[in-house]
Amino acid sequence: MPTIAPTPPPTQRPRPTTNVAGLQLITYYTQTRAVFPIFPPTPQIDFDEPAGENGDAWYRGMNASGQPIFSVREDFVMTPSTAFHELGHAYQDLLQRRTAGTDLMAKYWTYRGFPSTWQDALKDAYAQPPGMAQWIHLPGESWAEAFSIAMVGGGREKTLDYGRTINPPAMKSFFLTLSNP
């Protein structure tokens, strides 16, 4: 009986080596920096992520120069809400660097009128199954969603809002007060 050779696994696509999708963030970054000058003149845009990745865009922290780092899935067409959401994560980090020792999330939690504490919400988030159920409970994601809605001027929050709908102009004013201590 002839031996049949096993089918070789498909060749993996190489990781993207361009940041074409990521560069879509620049327009939104410039708009955000005009309102919140705490943002450095330019961000670091990393290589795009492969198509099929779980997620559309990512804030990756800050580099040694204090620039926010972002990457975007190579096939994603940027939306204002996604762009401003990721910029909201960067804003939180930029503020935290400036006001070390200040519990910015506690200020946000109090402003929103959310129950209990953000630390309790964080514990609750990690008690959820991984994925969207966990994501919608994370306090940092709530902050980023609120920042996005404030910058867009409307929209629906994707995270848990505890029945406290965002007033976009008031939310933007709140975020402005944080950058002008």
Best CA proximity match to 76, nearest among 40, 95, 48, 44 = 48
Q: pLDDT per residue over 80-135, tens digit each? A: 999 999 999 999 999 999 999 999 999 999 999 999 999 999 999 999 988 888 99
pLDDT given at position 14: 81
Q: Is the pLDDT of residue 9 over 90?
A: no
Mapped to the 3 state alphabet, what secondary structure does 57-101 carry? EEEEEECCCCCEEEEEECCCCCCHHHHHHHHHHHHHHHHHHHCCC
Q: Where are the domains of the chain?
A: 22-179
pLDDT given at position 133: 87
Q: Is the pLDDT of residue 45 over 80?
A: yes
pLDDT given at position 169: 98
pLDDT given at position 181: 60
pLDDT given at position 24: 98
HSE (side-chain half, CA atoms, 13 Å) at 73? 13
pLDDT given at position 67: 98
Q: How many CB atoms lie within 10 A of CB 158?
A: 17
Band of pLDDT at residue 8, cut at 50, 70 and 90: confident
pLDDT given at position 19: 96
Q: Average the pLDDT over 48-57 and give the result.
A: 92
Q: Average the pLDDT over 31-53 and give the result.
A: 96
